[in-house]
Amino acid sequence: MNILIGIITELWNILLDSSIYVLFGLFIAGIIQTFIDKDRIALHLGRKSFKSVFLAALFGIPLPLCSCGVLPTAMSLKKTGASKGAVLSFLISTPETGVDSIAVSYALLDPLMTVFRPFAAFVTALVAGITENIFGSKESGSEISENRCVFCDHEEGDHNHSLRSKFKYGMKYAFVDLFADMAFWFLIGVVAAAIIAYCVPFNFFEQYLGTGIKPILVMLIVGIPMYICASASTPIAAAFLLKGMSPGAAFVFLLAGPATNIAGIFTVGKFLGRRSIVIYLSAIAFCSILFGIILDFIYRSLNINIQASIGTAGELIPYPVRLVAVIIFLGMILYSQIHGYVNKCKRM
């Protein structure tokens, strides 16, 4: 019973620190959905050039799509004429970060890692896309149709609607559709983090994995095959850090975990070819290890105690505000489950 109470207490504390930032991230995701013309984005990704790779990496950073959710979007881009380099770049930058995961990173990690995460995702996407353009198999270039909607799940002509209706659609997308996709996995991540925080001894990872390259390689091997979204990986990484894991090793988990999974690897192979799989995995592995080593060096050079600095952002928000955010967050989870069950019954 004491163990259960301890885990629930840790779970509650994590939700107190993160819920307000999850809601803020969802709001920004709704703004992006409202104002960014994603069809026009697709028009710039067709040429086999550095510019198309750069734009694909840049556009992917704020989009709140997980490693499975990004697959149909990326494959749709490919079918409408986007170059393989741009598709690989988009496939990596999008799931590795997003406005929702950036907000959660700020809540549960620290400012340095919050900034470093999207930067590393962007560079990794560039490396993969440029490598694909140089060493990938030849492809027949085709222009992207201006009339083809590759990102949107709303009706044709929605861009002609009023600003109010666009905003309403964007908020519905963020707080209903997007939240329904991420809520379950985020809760799994929070529960796992609570279990680690309560049950795993202090400095466990430092004692058994040590420091340097070994824990970085272990986290790479763990992260590549598993399915975990960027938001769900964040509380787990925070728990790893509190239990003695090096910042670099935890960061490798944050990069490699959301970027890849078994389903994504097979999908990349089917649509882009075996050579693209090698480039895709090699770029993620190489950049994850490199940035993990760099991040460890930065923390050592600046003499930053990561265990003392993570999670401090949540303390900046007054307790009553955090409490209201948790209540809203849990209410949204309950609504999403009931809404999903009702829709499932209607289809039966």
pLDDT of the residue at 242: 87
Greater confidence, 65 or 156? 65
Greater confidence, 114 or 346? 114
pLDDT of the residue at 76: 67
Q: Residue 158 pLDDT more than 70?
A: no
pLDDT of the residue at 290: 96
pLDDT of the residue at 67: 62
Give the dihedral sign, CA 95/97/103/104: positive
pLDDT of the residue at 43: 66
* Per-chain mean pLDDT for the chain: 81
pLDDT tens per residue across span 89-145:
988 898 888 888 888 888 888 889 999 999 999 999 999 999 998 887 665 444 434
pLDDT tens per residue across span 16-62:
888 888 888 788 878 877 876 666 666 666 667 788 899 889 988 88
Mean pLDDT throughout 312-319?
74
Mean pLDDT throughout 214-232?
84
pLDDT of the residue at 193: 83
Greater confidence, 123 or 148? 123
pLDDT tens per residue across span 18-28:
888 888 878 88
Greater confidence, 142 or 332? 332
Greater confidence, 154 or 43? 43
pTM here is 0.76
